């Protein structure tokens, strides 16, 4: 698909319970629809706190099946508003088998599939190996009503191979929902995703939650969510570093072909592009 796609991302703060968090995101969907958005992505583990600051088995209760009750609830909303949705959730495949996952719902409400976070950190404030197994679904690209989209989740962004795999599979927009703290990797936040967008010639949506979830730890999530284009330029302003915000931007997918024709990275990096240089 080419042309302009109006896309939305949400950065928000923990409300205190799962149901109110889901209702808040349902309202964000309605606001995005009223603004004309045709695709929306929420932050990492969107309906809960970032409980990975501690290691407590009680938080396994946030996990649910995908597809399941939350995906079905938002699928109905997707169909109502004709909007593609990326839902970052805590997935329970079976007892003791848990993943950090994003479900993808098409604009007609159909479930298209999921991506499971591949790279799992285990450092102070981010004890994710206590909660998640490494993803085992590779790097799928989903054909949606607005084009071909991919997902990479938070810590994945530090590793270039997934970015590259998504580009080679034809992704036009890649969403990176995150829970990123001011004290750790903020110096990389406006560096890595623009660099990946340039290297792989697609749009990236970088989403980060906001606030300090004091019941769980002192991680200060700094928002500053944004869209970046295939030339590494921010599409409009970045999000607020402290406040919840719905960010809606127009993405001109035609720029992807323009940039790919300019640099020919994909053509020239194919092994068969050098066949005439290989000696028998």
Positions annotated as catalytic residues are 44, 117, 154
9 Rama class: left (phi>0) / alpha (psi -120 to 50) / beta: beta
Give the whole-angstrom CA distance, residue 204 versus residue 91.
24
């Amino acid at each position: 698909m080419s042309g302009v796609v109006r896309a939305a991302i949400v950065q928000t703060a923990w409300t205190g319970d799962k149901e109110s968090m889901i209702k808040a995101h349902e309202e964000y969907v309605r606001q995005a629809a009223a603004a004309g958005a045709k695709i929306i992505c929420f932050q990492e583990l969107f309906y809960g706190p970032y409980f990975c600051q501690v290691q407590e088995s009680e938080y396994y209760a946030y996990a649910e099946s995908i597809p399941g009750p939350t995906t079905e609830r938002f699928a109905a909303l997707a169909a109502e508003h004709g909007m593609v949705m990326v839902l970052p959730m805590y997935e329970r495949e079976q007892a003791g088998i848990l993943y950090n996952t994003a479900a993808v719902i098409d604009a007609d409400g159909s479930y298209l599939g999921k991506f499971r976070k591949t790279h799992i950190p285990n450092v102070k404030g981010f004890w994710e190996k206590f909660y998640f197994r490494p993803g085992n679904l590779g790097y799928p690209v989903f054909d949606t009503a607005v084009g071909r989209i991919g997902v990479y989740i938070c810590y994945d962004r530090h590793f270039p191979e997934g970015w590259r795999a998504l580009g080679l599979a034809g992704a036009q927009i890649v969403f990176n929902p995150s829970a990123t703290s001011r004290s750790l990797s903020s110096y990389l936040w406006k560096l890595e995703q623009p660099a990946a967008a340039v290297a792989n010639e697609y749009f990236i949506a970088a989403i980060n939650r906001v606030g300090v979830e004091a019941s769980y730890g002192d991680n200060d999530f700094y928002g500053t969510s944004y869209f970046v284009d295939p030339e590494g330029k921010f599409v409009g302003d970045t999000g607020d570093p402290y406040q919840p915000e719905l960010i809606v931007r127009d993405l001109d997918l035609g720029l992807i072909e323009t940039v790919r024709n300019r640099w020919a990275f994909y053509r020239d990096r194919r092994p068969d592009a050098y066949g005439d240089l290989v000696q028998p």
